[in-house]
């Protein structure tokens, strides 16, 4: 490969080796020489590749290596090529001896060298072609349509500033004048090199290793430096103690800081000296100047998008006469010498909302602060309307500060003048604001106690320690609760897998969660569970670079989640918590009158540019917006009949009499007995109602429906049928004597069906019954004898009804009476109560039993033990429907003797 022509040294005289060429001709021939050199280089590379492919391979190579001459030549050429490659690697400062490495290691060294060479070639070509001309700045602006009356918000919108997105164009139509556009701008640049690459101490993002302070010396100490670890229950180190914890516990603000201050307005920033500190010499000079100042205002600029834990890019400090800006990216390892000033308890450090600033200074610069005054806490103690620094500057200085560059990329180097001016304004007026706040706190109701409380809260902020971000097994559920979505087990499994992958990738690549995969894209992937890789890319717009690189890994996570069996959706993760819920311990006294549940002053304020109904005038005072007055209605309105808030001008005579009567009744004294007699009817009425209510409840709970009330029932006579002494004998003897046929009494089986009179086997005379149909049969069993067959027939006389029964013959009446008697006996055995059973007058009109009114809860089980004289009616007749429940009649068929006599 031909070597490129060497450049002539301009300091040495040119040698006349050929014809002289003027400068114009030489510059014009440079592109031609570059093109010819590139063409020749490609030609040689192609020829070398063709020759390498022409070498024998496989079985042919083994055959050729069997010849000693070919093997010797191949070995010599291989060593020569490795020697040339080794020289190139040493030129590029790549460590490693390629001759002693294996095949895979040799290939890695060659690839690393090629990457460096190609990157250098690409950079040189861009410089020659003019693509890289410095580091141009770029402003990305996003504007939001909100209702605002401040002039600062509307002044930032100009037609020369382009907006992001075609949907957010300017409208030529007249818009509502009460709404304006508030912009949030991201001030950045192209091709910013990552500063963490140049750090001497690499950044440790691992979750296993806790953050350890890198402090080597401890100035202004009351106790020697000791980095003491803290352990968990398993014996693992979880954190380290604060190096200046003892000094902060013993700190007491000096008396000068607890007295009234003399506010001194600083000069404008244009008339104040500014010192940019970007090397060690200027850092030491700034340290000596800061040690002479009694108060120092401090602020920190931070970047967290292209790094996992964040980077402190800039530190601003201001005294009464000078401003300092420290480049912490360059002086990261040397900024710790400022602890001589920051930990001095005699020098006051002033910060605004220093909660995060304290942690960032510890993590990146090993800086700690003792004796701090937080203006944010002071504004909260004074119950100001807003707590932001912009509001304090407007309140005390009537100064409108442009906060549109809060999203600027502070990694840009060199810093633009716009960012330098923006950084100075945060600390330039902070000392004056501190003095005004101190005087206001001393003039408050609590007086010096309020000022001491502010110093105490600021000291508690200085005790904060930085901890690394950590995720737990349920960290992804917090994201689901915030979005208020309902995920099933598959979606939660995918979300958990993607959440863990994002955390591991962000720690490994040193990128933020928002850069690796934003939350809304992660939720979209977990909710849709795409089957293909293109579906994952469709859920991301724009597609993050690391998602495109590791698309296969994400696809495998989604596929594993899809293979799980589907379970019912999990609406709230807190429902699965079975253990006891631990409540946070609070020091609030809820019984105190000073405690107010609607007091939100203890919460951090997130935004101070929200629209309000009250505006500020030129003097800084609140003013109400002017509202157009409503015109009076032309139609007269009628007076209301009833008014709640409007009293009558004059009362009528009836109202006066009513009020007089009510006043007399209230003044009249009544004796207790009269009060009792007055209330007695009411109590009786309530008692009657309560009794009726209880009776209704009892009726509803009855097992059987209520019996119909008898109508004009007249009892003629009540005659009890004497019991046959035969039934007092044993059962077998009863049947033998009772059913033995005689001459006077024929067999019951051969009894004539047309017989008009009943059999006279039973002792005693049966009373005569009138021709009217029987209404009821009163059964009064003997208490001593448990014979269920004793039925007492009660002749009754009933008043004629509207629908009289048709006249029956004597034979039909006897049959009907017999059937009713058998049914009454069967009902007596099945009935549990001792009340008489009333049979309906007409069997044709009898209704079916309604089981809906039966309370089955009253059935408690159990049965009464039968005695020896009981005749169980469990035999069922096949052809005689009327005699099915008659126990005595069915017993006749159990003896063969009776059957034989019956056949005769």
Distances (CA, A) of 29 to 19, 36, 278, 725: 15, 11, 43, 154
pLDDT tens by residue, 667-707: 777 788 888 888 889 899 999 999 999 998 888 876 655 55
Whether 281 and 347 share a structural domain:
yes
d(Cα 213, Cα 539) in Å, to the nearest integer? 41
CA distance linking residue 817 with residue 811, whole number of Å: 10
Sequence-ordered list of residues with C-beta below 8 angstroms from that of 165, at least 6 positions apart, any chain: none
The two structure tokens encoding residue 283: 């850092």
Between the alpha carbon of residue 160 and those of residues 87, 140, 163, 386, 405, the distances in Å are: 56, 13, 9, 33, 18
Q: Residue 210's closest CA among 471, 466, 501, 472?
A: 466
Statement: residue 392 has pLDDT above 60 = yes
Residue 896 lies in a domain: no
End-of-domain residue from the set 524, 542, 563:
563
DSSP character string of 71-126: HHHHHHHHHHHHHHHHHHHHHTT--S-TTSS-HHHHHHHHHHHHHHHHHHHHHHHH
Report whether 827 contacts 849 (CB < 8 A). no
| Phi, psi of 796, rounded to the nearest 5 degrees | -125, 160
pLDDT at 785: 41
In a domain, 623, yes or no: no
User: E strands, 698-786, where?
Assistant: 713-715
| Spatial separation of the C-alpha atoms in residues 792 and 59, rounded to whole Å | 125
- Cα 894 from Cα 288, distance rounded (Å): 132
Strand partners, 144: 182
pLDDT tens digits, 851-892 = 666 666 665 555 455 444 444 444 444 444 554 555 554 554
Q: For residues 285 and 350, state if they share a domain.
A: yes
Instruction: Tell me if 312 sits within 8 A of 300, measured CB to CB.
Output: yes
Give the whole-number percent of the chain exceeding pLDDT 90: 35
Which comes out higher in pLDDT, residue 168 or 612? Answer: 612
If asked whether residues 340 and 204 sit together in one domain, one would say yes
Name the residue among 886, 878, 777 with its Cα closest to residue 829.
Answer: 886
Residue whose structure tokens are 């101190």: 438
CA nearest to 554, candidates 571, 537, 574, 575: 537
Q: Is this structure's pTM higher than 0.75?
A: no
Residue 490 shares a structural domain with residue 449? no
pLDDT of amino acid 698: 85
- DSSP letters along 683-738, please? HHHHHHHHHHHHHHHHHHH-SSPPPPPP-SEEE----PPPPPGGGGS-HHHHHHHH
In this prediction, residue 558 has a pLDDT band, given cuts at 50, 70 and 90, of very high
Which pLDDT band, with edges at 50, 70 and 90, does 153 fall under? very low
Spatial distance between the Cα atoms of 502 and 512, rounded to a whole number of angstroms: 9
pLDDT digits (tens, 9 = 90+) for 96-122: 788 888 878 888 888 888 888 888 888
One domain, residues 402 and 503:
no
Looking at the structure, tell me whether residues 452 and 478 fall in a common domain.
no
pLDDT at 847: 52
Residue holding tokens 């019996």? 707
What's the confidence (pLDDT) of residue 575?
A: 46
Query: Where among 432, 463, 494 does a domain terminate?
Result: 463
Decide if 898 is inside a domain.
Answer: no
The DSSP call for residue 337 is: G
Which position has the token pair 């029956």? 808
Contact in structure between 370 and 244 (CB atoms under 8 Å) = yes
Task: Convert the pLDDT of each residue in 724-739 to its tens digit.
Answer: 666 667 777 766 665 5
pLDDT tens, 43-60? 998 998 888 888 888 888
Per-residue pLDDT, 822: 75
> For the domain that residue 450 is a member of, what is the CATH number?
3.30.420.10
Query: What confidence score (pLDDT) does residue 678 get?
Result: 84
Q: What is the DSSP string of 493-533?
A: HHHHHHHHHHHHHHHHHT--HHHH--HHHHHHHHHH--SSH
How many helices, marked H, and strands, marked E, lie in the chain? Answer: 27, 14
- Is 434 a domain residue? yes
Distance CA 722, CA 764 (A): 6
Tell whether 695 is covered by a domain.
no
Question: Is the domain of 438 the same as that of 485?
Answer: no
Reading the block at residue 116, the tokens are 């460096």
**Among candidates 284, 262, 286, which has minimal Cα distance to 274?**
286
Q: Are both 318 and 377 inside the same structural domain?
A: yes
What's the number of domains the chain is made of?
Answer: 3
Distances (CA, A) of 6 to 2, 9, 29, 123: 12, 9, 15, 19
Q: Look at residues 841, 516, 804 and name the one whose alpha carbon lies nearest to residue 710.
A: 841
User: CA–CA separation, 825 vs 779, rounded Å?
Assistant: 9
pLDDT of 769 reads 41
- Residue 390 maps to a domain: yes
Q: Which pLDDT belongs to residue 762? A: 42
Contact predicate 413/194, CB 8 Å? no
- Residue 49 DSSP SS3: helix
Q: Who contacts 32 (Cβ-Cβ below 8 Å, separation ≥6)?
A: none
Query: Is 451 a residue whose pLDDT tops 70?
Result: yes
Q: Between vectors from CA 779 to CA 778 and to CA 783, what angle results, nearest 5°?
A: 140
Q: Are residues 482 and 448 in the same domain?
A: no
Greatest Cα pair distance in the chain: 177
Both tokens of 756, joined, read: 């008009």
275 occurs within a structural domain:
yes
Give the per-residue pLDDT at 656: 85
Percent over 70 (pLDDT), the chain: 61
Q: Is residue 94 part of a domain?
A: yes
Domain that includes residue 70, residue range: 60-129
CATH number of the domain residue 518 falls in: 1.10.150.80
Assess whether 234 and 297 both reside in one domain: yes
| 416 and 528 part of one domain | no
Domain endpoint, select from 100, 129, 158: 129
Distance CA 599, CA 545 (A): 45
Within this chain, do residues 515 and 555 fall inside the same structural domain, yes or no?
A: yes
CA dihedral 753, 757, 760, 766 (to 10 degrees): 140
């Amino acid at each position: 490969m031909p070597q490129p022509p060497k450049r002539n040294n301009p300091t040495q005289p040119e040698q006349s080796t050929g014809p002289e060429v003027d400068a114009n001709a030489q510059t014009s021939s440079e592109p031609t020489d570059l093109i010819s050199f590139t063409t020749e280089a490609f030609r040689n590379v192609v020829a070398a590749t063709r020759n390498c492919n022409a070498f024998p391979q496989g079985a042919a190579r083994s055959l050729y290596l069997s010849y000693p001459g070919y093997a010797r030549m191949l070995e010599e050429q291989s060593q020569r090529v490795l020697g040339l490659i080794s020289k190139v690697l040493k030129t590029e400062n790549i460590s490693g001896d390629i001759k002693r490495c294996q095949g895979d290691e040799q290939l890695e060294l060659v690839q690393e060298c090629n990457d460096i060479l190609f990157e250098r070639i690409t950079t040189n070509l861009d410089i020659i072609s003019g693509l890289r001309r410095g580091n141009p700045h770029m402003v990305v602006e996003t504007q939001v349509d909100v209702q605002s009356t401040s002039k600062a918000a509307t002044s930032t919108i100009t037609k020369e500033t382009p907006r992001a997105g075609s949907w957010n164009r300017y409208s030529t139509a007249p818009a509502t004048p009460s709404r304006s556009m508030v912009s949030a701008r991201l001030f950045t640049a192209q091709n910013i090199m990552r500063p963490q690459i140049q750090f001497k101490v690499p950044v440790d993002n691992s979750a296993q290793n806790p953050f350890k302070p890198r402090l080597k010396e401890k100035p202004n100490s009351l106790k020697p430096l000791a980095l003491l670890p803290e352990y968990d229950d398993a014996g693992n180190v979880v954190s380290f103690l604060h190096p200046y914890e003892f000094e902060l516990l013993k700190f007491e603000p000096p008396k000068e800081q607890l007295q009234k201050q003399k506010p001194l307005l600083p000069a404008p920033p244009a008339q104040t000296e500014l010192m940019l500190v970007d090397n060690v010499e200027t850092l030491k000079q700034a340290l000596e100047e800061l040690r002479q100042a009694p108060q120092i205002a401090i602020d920190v600029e931070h970047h967290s998008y292209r790094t996992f834990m964040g980077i402190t890019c800039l530190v601003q400090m201001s005294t009464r006469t000078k401003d300092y800006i420290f480049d912490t990216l360059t002086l990261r390892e040397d900024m710790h010498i400022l602890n001589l000033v920051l930990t001095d308890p005699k020098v006051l450090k002033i910060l605004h909302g220093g909660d995060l600033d304290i942690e960032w200074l510890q993590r990146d610069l090993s800086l700690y602060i003792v004796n701090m005054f937080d203006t944010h806490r002071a504004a909260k103690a004074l119950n100001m309307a807003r707590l932001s620094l912009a509001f304090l500057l407007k309140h005390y200085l009537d100064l409108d500060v442009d906060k549109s560059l809060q999203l600027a990329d502070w990694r840009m180097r060199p810093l633009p003048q716009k960012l330098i001016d923006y950084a100075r304004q945060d600390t330039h007026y902070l000392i004056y604001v501190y003095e005004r706040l101190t005087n206001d706190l001393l003039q408050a109701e609590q007086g010096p106690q309020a000022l001491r409380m502010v110093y105490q809260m600021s000291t508690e902020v200085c005790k904060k320690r930085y901890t690394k971000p950590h995720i737990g097994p349920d960290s992804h559920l917090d994201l689901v609760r915030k979005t208020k979505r309902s995920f099933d087990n598959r979606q939660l499994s995918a979300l958990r897998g993607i959440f863990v992958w994002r955390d591991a990738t962000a720690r490994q690549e040193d990128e933020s969660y928002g850069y690796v995969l934003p939350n809304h894209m992660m939720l979209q992937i977990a909710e849709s569970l795409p089957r293909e890789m293109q579906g994952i890319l469709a859920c991301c717009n724009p597609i993050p670079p690391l998602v495109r690189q590791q698309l296969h890994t994400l696809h495998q996570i989604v596929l594993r989640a899809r293979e799980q069996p589907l379970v019912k959706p999990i609406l709230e993760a807190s429902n699965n918590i079975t253990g006891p819920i631990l409540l946070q311990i609070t020091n609030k006294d809820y019984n105190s009158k000073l405690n107010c549940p609607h007091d939100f002053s203890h919460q951090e304020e997130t935004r101070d540019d929200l629209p309000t109904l009250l505006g500020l005038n030129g003097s800084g005072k609140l003013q109400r917006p002017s509202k157009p007055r409503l015109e009076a209605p032309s139609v007269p309105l009628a007076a209301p009949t009833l008014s709640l808030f409007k009293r009558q001008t004059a009362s009528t005579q009836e109202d006066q009499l009513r009020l007089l009567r009510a006043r007399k009744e209230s003044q009249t004294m009544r004796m207790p007995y009269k009060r009792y007699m007055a209330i007695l009817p009411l109590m009786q009425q309530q008692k009657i109602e309560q009794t009726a209510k209880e009776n209704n409840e009892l009726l509803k709970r009855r097992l059987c429906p209520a019996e119909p009330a008898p109508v004009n029932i007249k009892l003629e006579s009540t005659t009890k049928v004497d019991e046959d002494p035969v039934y007092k004998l044993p059962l077998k003897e009863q049947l033998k004597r009772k059913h033995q046929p005689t001459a006077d009494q024929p067999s019951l089986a051969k009894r004539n069906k047309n017989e008009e009179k009943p059999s006279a086997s039973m002792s005693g005379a049966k009373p005569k019954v009138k021709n009217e149909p029987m209404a009821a049969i009163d059964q009064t069993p003997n208490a001593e004898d448990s014979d269920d067959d004793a039925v007492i027939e009660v002749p009754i006389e009933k008043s004629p009804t509207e629908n009289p029964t048709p006249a029956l013959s004597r034979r039909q009446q006897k049959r009907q009476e017999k059937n009713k008697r058998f049914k009454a006996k069967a009902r007596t055995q099945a009935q549990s109560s001792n009340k008489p059973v009333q049979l309906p007058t007409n069997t044709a009109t009898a209704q079916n039993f309604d089981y809906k009114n039966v309370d089955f809860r009253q059935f408690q089980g159990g049965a009464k033990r039968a005695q020896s004289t009981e005749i169980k009616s469990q035999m069922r007749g096949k052809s005689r429907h009327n005699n099915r429940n008659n126990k005595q009649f069915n017993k006749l068929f159990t003896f063969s003797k009776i059957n034989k006599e019956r056949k005769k």
